Every structure is written in C-alpha cells, then in structure tokens.
Chains A and B, each alone.
Chain A
C-alpha cells in the first residue's frame, strides 16, 4: 500500500479518500463565453476570467460536498488530448471525429518533432491550489493516450511517437512537482486497447515518473481490462483509477484470480447516464470492493470524468459518491 508514501509526502488522508477523476461540466456561463470567444466576440483575457470563475465554482463545490482530494475540474480544456496537443510543439489540430453518439472531438495530428516549451497546466494548478487547503491533484494526459488518440504523420511508428511524448510530458510533471504538487494523475485511458502494446505504455510511464517525488495515479477506462491484467500492475504508479461500475464490477473477479497490489480509485457511479445512482447502490458497490480489496487501498470516485453530464447531474453523482463513502467509512471505523 502507498499510505506510507503519502505520509512521507506530508499528506494524511482518511479511510476511503474521496476524489473525482478530473473533469467537471462547464457551467452555462462558461459555455456562452467559450462560444463568444470562438466567434471572436471577446478577448482571451475575458475567456480566462470565466475559466477561473468556473474553476473556483468547482473547488468550492467539492469542498462543500466533502471531497478529500480535489481537482481543478479542467475548465480550461476542450479535450484531454487536444489540450496538450495545442500546447506542445509538433502538433496540428485535426478536424472533428466522433467519439460516441453525438459527441465529437478535434483529433490532433503529429506533424513534427514533439517538444515541451513551457509549463502547460502549472498555472491552473497553482490557481486552484490557492483556493483550497485540501490536497489537489495535478492532472495530465499520458504519452500512450496522447499518441493513440492522435494521427501520426511525423514519426515512423507508434512506439517512437509514444516515447518521444513521454520525454516531453515528464518535463510537465517536473514543473508541477517544482510548484508543490504531490499527487499527480497521469490519465491513460487508451492503455487497454492494444494489449500487445502494454510494454510500450509501461516503458513510457517509466520515462514519465521514475525517480520523481510524487504519489502517482493513472486513470484507465472503457477497455478490455481482462486483456491487460495483471500485466498492467507493472505500470510504475501508486494508484489505478478504474471505471468499475459501468462494467458491473467485473474486475473484482480478475482481482480474485490474481491479487491486486496497488491502491485503487474505485469508480462507483456511471458517468454516461443521466440516472443518478442512489447512495445505497453506491455503498453496496463499495462493500463488494471490500470483499476483495484491503480497506486502506481503496479511494472512491466516479467511473470517469463527469464533463459529459449537466452541472446538476455531476453534483448529484458526486453527492452520492461522498455520502456512500462517508457512510462506509463510519461503519468500518465503528467496527474497528
């Protein structure tokens, strides 16, 4: 378990730390400002003021709800890969492609050598950190996912592109640590898509995290975990943030066959449905987790980022997560 590592970093968390995966929905006022900015009606400064206002909204909301480890909510991002592609040299913005249903994103194109020129997320992390005394995660998209969700024109193959990205993303991790970030999440949702490339994802994550003083989380979701487990445990991170409820907690069966050895951020609410899960349903999912995993290893959060929900739905889902986790925390602590 990595409690000792957290304590070494000066972070003391309660049983079943409550967090969220990263993104929250953009409030209506920000959506309007973004639309105005796209139409060149307002300045970048006006856009950034609205993004800061929205960031403060979500920091306050997480504190009100009782979340233990906060995120900045990613109000400044359009998309988890496109945002980094916009800030790294070597990318061009591609046209829209579909993600699912009626959702689309601009898929970047790697047209040159990738290069980190200056901090990308650090100012946002510092701004959000100034709004709360609670631990705040640094949030990055990992090299394997940036590679997989981009078109590759410059590099000869996927591995070469991935490792080149890893070297540059490490610079962003170092910049976050330099400013005081102690918990850093490297999102790698694409890790499970090509099991034969898991060694590439592991090699890249070593480049990103090796020797750096932080508690590392990686988020993986919506894939065939059975194809990469237990091999994925070789990713050099402390905590896997996993989508569990959408897949009916299937992974627990895998954990029974081969012991899970890291901390886990256990996704307990589905982020792609308007239905808000009742607290007893969420608590039951956590109790199922406890049948297989040690209590000190479990963090609690939604399956994935909540950006596709409405603000009201996202708050309601987080409320369910918080209420269930706190109920279980009380129950377990009173038993001890």
Chain B
C-alpha cells in the first residue's frame, strides 16, 4: 500500500537566519527606493528554490512553489483582474494573518495569466512534480466587496471570478500541470451556498483537460457537508482533519467516491503529531478510502508555522507513512 506525500500549498518565505530573510530585506529595500522590482523577483526566485529543495529533502512526492510570491491568498489573484482595486486589511479566517480586500467596481476580467509564470518557474526548477494551487472563485468572491453595484451582485461577482479562474485552469493544464488545486475554505462558513460552489467548480472542471482537479477545504469542519462534496466533479478532495477528531470515523463509515488528500498533520500548531496516533487514524480511514491512491498532507498551508517547524512537519509526513505502513493490518 502506498500513500503519496504532498505539500498542501504555502511554505514559509522567511526563516530566522540571514539567508532566509533575503526576500523580506529586498522588499524593504525596494520600498525605500534602494532596490528594483527585478531584485525582488530574483529574491522570490531564490526563496522558491529553497522551498522546493526543502520539500524534496523532506521526501515529498508532490510539491508546490510555496506561494512565495503571494502577498496573500486573496489579493494575489484578485488584484491581477480588471474591475478590481485592492483595499485595506482584513483578518484571514481565524488566523493572525491579514489579507487586502478586493473592491469590485466593474466587470471582472482576466487580462493576463495569474499564476502561469510562477508555476512555470517552479516546474522548471523542481526535481518533483509541482502542484498548481489557486484560491477558488467562491472564496475570492466571499472576501471581496462590491462598490456601487459595479459587480452586479454577489452571483455576478462569483461568475466573473469563475470565468477568470477557469481560463487559468486551462492555461495551467496546457503548461503541464498534472494536479491543479482549488481552495475553497469559505464554503465551510457558508455551507448553504453549496449549489453556488457546485456550479462554479463544474465550470472549472470543464477547463482542466487531462489535469487532475483537487478541491480542498480547511479552517473548519467539513463533516456537515461531506456527503455533498462527494458529488462534485473533481478528481481529488482535500480535507482538514484538525477541527473535528470524528471526521476520521465519518470518512471510514461513509466511504468516498473521490481520491482523498488527508490533512492529518496540523499546520497551525507546532506540536508534532504522535505517529502512532496518526497511523491509527490512517488504519480507520482505510476502511472507507483507498489509501493506495490517497495523499497525506498538512492540514492547510504551512506559512502559519515558523520555517524550522514547517520543515519538521513535512519530514513528519514520511515518519507517519512509515509508521502506518509498518503497523499491523
């Protein structure tokens, strides 16, 4: 039995030694007029290289670019669309991390690729397959505000984000992305909006060509909508198991029609999971899911941890897999 090890999405773009503070230093110098945008891009490239290397060293089978270039999960995408300006800071879910809120004042349109360049860079540098990651249309719409009716209402805004991201999914697939991850944590706060999300994800799925489309949920308990999620036209479902210990039992008893990405390793706390406990969770999950094709991952992006702990958590994925595979059936 195999279990694929993968990163979730983000990876710390800073660390405590001078080498890992390159990007922070360069941006600060650029903001003072002492360095150029090209210097910032070079620093982003360097930090991406380091993120890729650390994921490979940890033994991951599927890596990400670490989202090193992202100012935050909302404005990095929305800010590149026409019809949007970026406004003040708001807290990102229940974290102590803040994003800049998009203000939609006109028709949302994708006028340039959003993630293609950074995906191509990482793909070119990585020794492992790179997963492309994007915040989903529903989560973008939920974190945006409309100005003077410019977006035509929430559903039009969602439609605009969906069209833009569907084009990006197609571009990433054409560029060779084998797994494209769409993140929709906002649905867990608004589960009644499942039909809206379904419509949006269906549009994205139609653009994925031969790539696998992964839909992931975190920052909340997906158990209440678990059965609904099974009906979505995606190849993989990613779930955060840290909010509800009984989600394992739910998956074991209800089964799954989709390949699962199992977010068993907590990306929000430094405490390392007991490998024996995690292995027992996997044993239970094996009753409902085919773990031969499942992924083991952190519960959400690793940027919420210090670099040394994030690295430790990635290495811990391999420890858990080894414990699980070595444990009695």
Interface on A for B, CB 8 Å cutoff?
94-102, 104, 107, 109, 148-149, 151-153, 190, 192-194, 222-224, 246, 270, 272-273
Nearest 5 CB-CB pairs, A to B? A95-B306, A100-B98, A193-B94, A151-B270, A102-B27
Residue B308 interfacial (CB < 8 Å)? yes
Q: Is the CB of B89 within 8 A of A246?
A: yes
Among B91, B100, B303, B306, the residue within 8 A (CB) of A193 is B91
A265 to B100, CA, bound (A): 24
A99 to B15, CA, bound (A): 14
A102 to B23, CA, bound (A): 9
Closest partner residue, chain B, to A101 (CB atom) = B71
List the B side residues contacting A97 at CB < 8 Å.
Answer: 12, 303-306
Known A102-B24, A222-B89, A272-B88; 4 more pairs at CB < 8 Å: A96-B16, A100-B97, A151-B309, A153-B271
Most A Cβ at <10 Å: residue of B15, B90, B95, B306: B306
Most A Cβ at <10 Å: residue of B14, B89, B97: B89
A190 to B13, CA, bound (A): 24
A284 CB to nearest B CB, Å = 18
A122 CB to nearest B CB, Å = 27
List the A side residues contacting B308 at CB < 8 Å.
Answer: 95
B148 CB to nearest A CB, Å = 13
Indicate with 1 or 0, residue by residue over B9-25, a CB within 8 angstroms of chain A CB atoms: 00011111000000010
A-B residue pairs in contact (CB < 8 Å), sample of 28: A95-B15, A95-B307, A97-B12, A97-B304, A98-B13, A98-B14, A99-B97, A99-B98, A100-B72, A100-B98, A100-B99, A100-B100, A102-B28, A102-B31, A104-B24, A107-B306, A109-B270, A151-B269, A151-B270, A151-B309, A152-B269, A153-B269, A193-B94, A194-B94, A222-B89, A223-B91, A270-B88, A273-B88
Residue B111 interfacial (CB < 8 Å)? no
Once A97-B12, A270-B88 are accepted as A-B contacts, the answer to whether A222 and B98 lie under 8 Å apart by CB is yes
Once A95-B307, A97-B304 are accepted as A-B contacts, the answer to whether A152 and B271 lie under 8 Å apart by CB is yes
A149 to B96, CA, bound (A): 7
A246 to B91, CA, bound (A): 12
A195 to B132, CA, bound (A): 33
A151 to B31, CA, bound (A): 31
A135 CB to nearest B CB, Å = 30
List the B side residues contacting A190 at CB < 8 Å.
Answer: 96
Closest partner residue, chain B, to A195 (CB atom) = B94
List the A side residues contacting B24 at CB < 8 Å.
Answer: 102, 104
A272 to B98, CA, bound (A): 11
Q: Is the CB of B95 within 8 A of A151?
A: no
Indicate with 1 or 0, residue by residue over B73-91, a CB within 8 angstroms of chain A CB atoms: 0000000000000001111
Q: Is the CB of A193 within 8 A of B13?
A: no
B108 CB to nearest A CB, Å = 21
Indicate with 1 or 0, residue by residue over B216-240, a CB within 8 angstroms of chain A CB atoms: 0000000000000000000000000
Among B88, B94, B96, B309, the residue within 8 A (CB) of A99 is B96
List the B side residues contacting A98 at CB < 8 Å.
Answer: 12-14, 97, 303
Q: Is the CB of A96 within 8 A of B15?
A: yes
A95 to B311, CA, bound (A): 12
Q: Is the CB of A272 within 8 A of B96?
A: no
List the B side residues contacting A109 at CB < 8 Å.
Answer: 270
List the B side residues contacting A149 at CB < 8 Å.
Answer: 96
A101 CB to nearest B CB, Å = 6
List the B side residues contacting A153 at CB < 8 Å.
Answer: 269-271
B223 CB to nearest A CB, Å = 15
Closest partner residue, chain A, to B268 (CB atom) = A151
Closest partner residue, chain A, to B306 (CB atom) = A95
Closest partner residue, chain A, to B303 (CB atom) = A98
List the A side residues contacting B89 at CB < 8 Å.
Answer: 100, 222, 246, 272
Q: Is the CB of A96 within 8 A of B14?
A: yes
In chain B, positions 264-319 with a C-beta closer than 8 Å to chain A are 269-271, 303-309
B147 CB to nearest A CB, Å = 11
List the B side residues contacting A107 at CB < 8 Å.
Answer: 96, 306
A97 to B308, CA, bound (A): 11
List the A side residues contacting B306 at CB < 8 Å.
Answer: 94-97, 107
Once A151-B270, A246-B89 are accepted as A-B contacts, the answer to whether A95 and B309 lie under 8 Å apart by CB is yes
List the B side residues contacting A272 at CB < 8 Å.
Answer: 88-89
List the B side residues contacting A222 at CB < 8 Å.
Answer: 89-91, 98
List the B side residues contacting A152 at CB < 8 Å.
Answer: 269, 271
List the B side residues contacting A100 at CB < 8 Å.
Answer: 72, 89, 97-100
Q: Is the CB of B16 within 8 A of A95?
A: yes
B55 CB to nearest A CB, Å = 18
Most A Cβ at <10 Å: residue of B31, B72, B98: B98
List the A side residues contacting B95 at CB < 8 Å.
Answer: 193
A70 to B271, CA, bound (A): 40
B314 CB to nearest A CB, Å = 15
A116 to B314, CA, bound (A): 35
Q: Is the CB of B99 within 8 A of A151?
A: no
List the A side residues contacting B269 at CB < 8 Å.
Answer: 151-153
Closest partner residue, chain A, to B98 (CB atom) = A100
Most B Cβ at <10 Å: residue of A98, A109, A152, A246: A98
Closest partner residue, chain B, to A194 (CB atom) = B94
Closest partner residue, chain B, to A95 (CB atom) = B306
A246 to B14, CA, bound (A): 28
A259 to B207, CA, bound (A): 50
A98 to B97, CA, bound (A): 7
A192 to B96, CA, bound (A): 11
List the A side residues contacting B271 at CB < 8 Å.
Answer: 151-153
A197 CB to nearest B CB, Å = 9
In chain B, positions 88-142 with a C-beta closer than 8 Å to chain A are 88-91, 93-100
Most A Cβ at <10 Å: residue of B88, B98, B309: B88
Q: Is the CB of B14 within 8 A of A148?
A: no
Q: Is the CB of A148 within 8 A of B270?
A: no
A224 to B95, CA, bound (A): 12
List the A side residues contacting B15 at CB < 8 Å.
Answer: 95-96
Most A Cβ at <10 Å: residue of B13, B93, B94, B303: B94
